[in-house]
Amino acid sequence: MSPPPEEAGFLPLAQLSMLVAQLMELGYRCLGPVAENGAIVMRELATPDALPRGLQAAQAPGRYRLQQDPQRRYFAWANGPQAIKPHLFAPRESLWRAQRDEQGRLRFMAVAPPAPMLALIGVRACDLAALALQDAHFLQGDQPDSHYARRREQLFLVAVQCAEPASTCFCASTGDGPTPSAGYDIALAELADGFVAAAGSRKGVALLNTLNLPPASAQQLAAARQQGQAAAAGQTRSLPGRTLRNVLMSRLEHPQWDEVATRCLACGNCTAVCPTCFCHAEMDEPALNGQASEHVRMWDSCFGASHGHLHGFDVRPDIRSRYRQWLTHKLATWHDQYGRSGCVGCGRCIAWCPAEIDLTAEAAVLAGERERP
């Protein structure tokens, strides 16, 4: 539960590195935003003051470009291709091993993945909403995923309000942003001269207490609030509703599925960058000497041919059925599984789609709110 914003402190710009230094002092491995190969990605911070400053990410369908931020803010870049997902649900990892002992019997051994204390600096409201969905998938139910759980316990999240969402963002329409409301340890709102800093957990309170921050003034709190409202109001994309389950499931034979299939390349980029997608494949990798075997899990995509392959036939043999599976799961049947849509409005699948396919536009056509192109 977040404390009331009145309890927020004010962290001057020059002291941002103190927060990172304190996390390092507590033993956290700190990952923060870094410009790499033309995109913002999360990488290890070697020193507390290594955070990049003055970069924005201009995004549009099929387009992502870094550019200079004239205001030289630390967190003006909306988002990059990675969310929190790869740090908890590893793209590829071993789940267990089998080995023959000296008598030739098979021994099965669990693999405990390394789970260092990890602080992620600069996560967004949409990332936190996606994390809550991944928690629902991996941690709830009879068989919580032990690999995910080990990493989740060690996580410290420093969230940042999006003051300048990208043109692809629509988190206001899904109710997930742009101001973080829950799920963080510390939330920052960047103003011209510093950050309004609020704790959202006991760990966050303890850390902020070590920094001895002055309380944020009424003007600073109002500026942060207004900045969030302006960012929400400035978003130009939206979904045609938060509950699209019935409308999409009643249009499974809509001609738009054929149309989008002529453009979609089935590359799977959208599922790789989506912070809520959790599909994976598992396979056994036997050692060449036949004495051991590794059981590996890796990310998979519902756009791949093998994902729908079942004992001699393909459940989804064409791109039409694969795109339909993705969109109807994400926006419709996810409600049955997790009580809400699987889309948090981050816009990554729009920016990173090489065919410039925009799920908000596809959903609008399918919902009858927009003419077919």
Any contact of residue 264 with ligand SF4 (CB under 6 A)?
yes
Count of Cβ atoms closer than 10 Å to residue 150 Cβ: 14
Which one of residues 266, 279, 292, 367 is an interface residue with ligand SF4 (CB under 6 A)?
A: 266
All residues at 6 or more sequence positions from 277 whose CB lies less than 8 Å from its CB, including other chains: 85, 271, 301, 342
118 vs 264, beta carbon nearer ligand SF4 = 264
Cα 184 to Cα 123: distance, rounded to the nearest angstrom: 9
Any contact of residue 348 with ligand SF4 (CB under 6 A)?
yes
Any contact of residue 160 with ligand SF4 (CB under 6 A)?
no
Backbone dihedral region for residue 368 (phi beyond 0: left; psi -120 to 50: alpha; all else: beta): left
Any contact of residue 125 with ligand SF4 (CB under 6 A)?
no
Any contact of residue 353 with ligand SF4 (CB under 6 A)?
yes
27 vs 255, beta carbon nearer ligand SF4 = 255
Any contact of residue 66 with ligand SF4 (CB under 6 A)?
no
Any contact of residue 303 with ligand SF4 (CB under 6 A)?
yes
Which one of residues 231, 347, 358, 366 is an interface residue with ligand SF4 (CB under 6 A)?
A: 347
Tell which residue, 234, 254, 270, has the closest CA to residue 356: 270
Cα 332 to Cα 340: distance, rounded to the nearest angstrom: 9
Q: Is 101 exposed, middle or buried (0-12, 13-18, 19+ CB in 10 A)?
A: exposed
**Smallest separation, CB 333 to ligand SF4 (Å):** 14
Any contact of residue 118 with ligand SF4 (CB under 6 A)?
no
Which one of residues 276, 302, 358, 363 is an interface residue with ligand SF4 (CB under 6 A)?
A: 276
Residue at token pair 């409301």: 181
Any contact of residue 273 with ligand SF4 (CB under 6 A)?
yes
- Supply angle C-alpha 36, 42, 44, rounded to 5: 95
Any contact of residue 244 with ligand SF4 (CB under 6 A)?
no
User: Which residues bind to ligand SF4, rule: CB under 6 A?
Assistant: 264-270, 273-276, 303, 330, 343-349, 353-355, 357, 359
